[in-house]
A and B are shown apart, each in its own frame.
Chain A
Amino acid sequence: MLSKREKELIAEIWGRLTPVAEDIGSDALLRMFSTFPGTKTYFSHLDISPRSPHMLSHGQKIVLAIAEGAKDISQLTVTLAPLQTLHAYQLRIDPTNFKLFSHCMLVTLACHMGEDFTPVAHAAMDKYLSAFAAVLAEKYR
C-alpha cells in the first residue's frame, strides 16, 4: 500500500530521472546481467555489452515506462495494458526476473542518489516496483 506522500515522492524521483533514463536503465540492466547471469538468456538477440546502443535504448525504454507509471500509480493497470500483453504473450519473461531487475534498479538508484536514497524513499520505491512488476505479470495466466 502506497501512501499519498509516498506516491508523490516516487513521482518526483522518476520525474527527475527521466532526462537520464538511458543511463539509469542501462546501468540497472548491466548490474542485473552481471549479478544474475541467468537473466542474460532473454537477451541473446541484443548486444548487452556496457553502454552499447542496444543497452542504452532498451534501458531508456524501461525507465520511461516506469516513470510513466509513476505519474498516476492508481492507474497502473490502464497505463501498462499494452506492456502487459507484450510480456504475457510475446516476451514471456519469467516474473521472478522482475524481482531481480527491481533489486538492481534500487542499487542503481542508491549509487546515483547516495544519501538522498533514504530508507523511506527506498521503501516507497521497492513497493512501487513490486506493484509495477505484479501488474506487468497480470495477463500471464
Chain B
Amino acid sequence: MVEWTDQERSIINGIFANLDYEDIGPKALCRCLIVYPWTQRYFGAFGNLYNADAIKTNPNIAAHGIKVLHGLDRAVKNMDDIKATYAELSVLHSEKLHVDPDNFRLLADCLSIVVAAKMGSAFTPYVQAAWQKFLAVVVSALGRQYH
C-alpha cells in the first residue's frame, strides 16, 4: 500500500486541477515520440511521424495524448489503490498492445518535463518529488499485470 501524506495529495490534486488536458496530453506524447524515437514503433497506424513537425501536427497523436492524460485522471481520483484501478489497463498494455513497460517511464519523464516547463519555478524540487512519486506508482501499476 502506498502511503500519501496530506501534502502530497494536495500537490498532486493541485497540479491536475490546473492542468489543461487538451494541451499537456498531446505535448507530452509528442515529446516522447521525438525524444525517444523508438517509441514510435507503437504508432505505426497513426499516420505521418516523419519528423518533429509532422508529429506535433498529427491529429491522431494529439487525440491519443488527451486519452492518456484522462487515463491518469483515474489514478488521481483513486490514489489509494492505483494498482487495482489500473489492473485492466495493465492487462491491455501487455496482452493486446504489447508495450514494453519501460516505455511508461519514458512517457512519465516527458510528462514531468512538460509540466515543469509550464509551471516554471512553481515546480519546486519538493513538488517534483511528490509528482514523480505519483508517476512512479502509476508506472509500476501499469506494469504490474505483465507476465
Residue of B nearest to A31 (CB): B125
Task: Tell me whether A119 and B117 are in contact (CB under 8 A).
Answer: no
Please give, as numbers and ranges, the residues of chain A lying within 8 Å of B109 by CB-CB distance: 103, 106
B119 in contact (CB, < 8 A): yes
Task: Tell me whether B128 and A119 are in contact (CB under 8 A).
Answer: no
Known: A30-B125, A35-B125. A122 touches B119 (CB 8 A): no
A129 to chain B, nearest CB (A): 12
Please tell me which one of the listed residues A27, A112, A115, A122 contacts residue B31 in the complex, with CB atoms under 8 A apart.
Answer: A122
Binding site for A on B (CB under 8 A): 30-31, 34-35, 52, 56, 109, 112-114, 116-121, 123, 125-126, 128-129, 132-133
Please give, as numbers and ranges, the residues of chain A lying within 8 Å of B113 by CB-CB distance: 106-107, 110, 117, 122
Can you list 15 A-B contacts with CB-CB less than 8 angstroms, sorted by A residue number? A31-B129, A34-B126, A35-B125, A35-B128, A103-B109, A104-B128, A106-B109, A110-B117, A111-B119, A111-B123, A114-B120, A117-B113, A119-B34, A122-B113, A123-B34
A12 to chain B, nearest CB (A): 18
Please give, as numbers and ranges, the residues of chain A lying within 8 Å of B120 by CB-CB distance: 111-112, 114
B99 to chain A, nearest CB (A): 21
B75 to chain A, nearest CB (A): 18
Binding site for B on A (CB under 8 A): 27, 30-31, 33-35, 50, 103-104, 106-107, 110-115, 117, 119-120, 122-123, 126
Please give, as numbers and ranges, the residues of chain A lying within 8 Å of B34 by CB-CB distance: 119-120, 122-123
Please give, as numbers and ranges, the residues of chain B lying within 8 Å of A114 by CB-CB distance: 117-118, 120
Residue of A nearest to B133 (CB): A35
Q: How far is the CA of A119 from the CA of B31 in the complex (A)?
A: 5
- Chain B binding surface, main DSSP class: helix
Residue of B nearest to A29 (CB): B125
Q: How far is the CA of A114 from the CA of B123 in the complex (A)?
A: 11
Q: How far is the CA of A131 from the CA of B64 in the complex (A)?
A: 32
Task: Tell me whether B35 and A31 are in contact (CB under 8 A).
Answer: no
Residue of B nearest to A30 (CB): B125
Residue of B nearest to A115 (CB): B117
Known: A107-B112, A110-B116. A35 touches B129 (CB 8 A): yes
Please give, as numbers and ranges, the residues of chain A lying within 8 Å of B52 by CB-CB distance: 119-120
Task: Tell me whether B128 and A31 are in contact (CB under 8 A).
Answer: yes
